[in-house]
Structure 1
Amino acid sequence: MNQKRTRVPLPHPPPYRQSRLSYWLTVLAGVLFAVAVCLSIYMLIESWISGSITTHNRGPRSTYTQALQPRRFWFEFVWQSFWTLLMLAVGVFGLWIYCKVREPAGKPKAERRSR
């Protein structure tokens, strides 16, 4: 006898469906993260055009100009660029993970043909 014909199908729990609240919280977090990355890129471009950059440390902030302190200016520029690229990579990786985990909604499963 064929096992598929004799076996009683077991009940399966319904598939996980993401709630609307968690979906919109994920969208909100993604939008806020994207805004933070875009503003950081804007600040870097503005610093490069104007020739002066301000540090982002806590406490007293320092401003370096490209004309008077070129080494400190470029060090701070590269340092802020590194953190911006790191945030961008984390955002892209998070989006990739979210798309991998999310179940495709529109594709029906292919049915097996019986012989």
Structure 2
Amino acid sequence: MNQKRTRVPLPHPPPYRQSRLSYWLTVLAGVLIAIAVCLSIYMLIESWISGSITTNNRGPRSTYTLALQPRRYWFEFVWQSFWTSFMLAIGVFGLWVYRKGRGREQRPKGKRSR
């Protein structure tokens, strides 16, 4: 006798379905990270073109110009570039983790025809 006809199918838990809330929170976090990275890149390009950069600390902000304070200007430029790259890496890593966690979609198998 054919084993497929006599075997009792085992009960399996339903596949994981992501809730709408967690999906939209993930999208919101991704969009916020993308906006932060884009604005930071814009600030770096603008400061490179203008030749003056402003610190991003919470206390009194300082502005350094390339003509008067080249060392401080380049230090601040490299420092802000580092944090921009770090935010970009976090965004890419988060996208990678999200894609790996989703797994492949299970498509129902069609019945074979003889």
* TM-score (normalizing by structure 2): 0.85
In the TM superposition, what whole-angstrom CA distance separates every residue of 1:8-44 from its partner, at most 9, and x where no partner exists?
4321110110011111111111001100000000000
> Number of paired residues?
110
Question: Which whole-Å CA distance do the structure 2 matches of 1:107 and 1:81 have between them?
Answer: 44
SS of residue matched to 2:100 = helix
Letter aligned with residue 71 of structure 1: R
Q: 1:108 to 1:40 in 2, by over 3 A?
A: farther
Unaligned runs of 5+ in 2: 110-114
Unaligned runs of 5+ in 1: 110-115
| Equivalent residue, structure 1, for 2:83 | 83
Q: 1:44 to 1:4 in 2, by over 3 A?
A: same
Percent of aligned positions that are identical: 85
SS of residue matched to 1:53 = strand
* TM-score (normalizing by structure 1): 0.84
The higher relative CO (CA closer than 8 Å, separation ≥ 6) is in 2
Give the alignment of 1:25-40 within 5 angstroms. Answer: 25-40=25-40
Letter aligned with residue 29 of structure 1: A
Alpha-carbon distance, 1:108 to partner: 5.2
Computed over aligned residues only, the root mean square deviation of the Cα atoms, in angstroms, reads 2.2
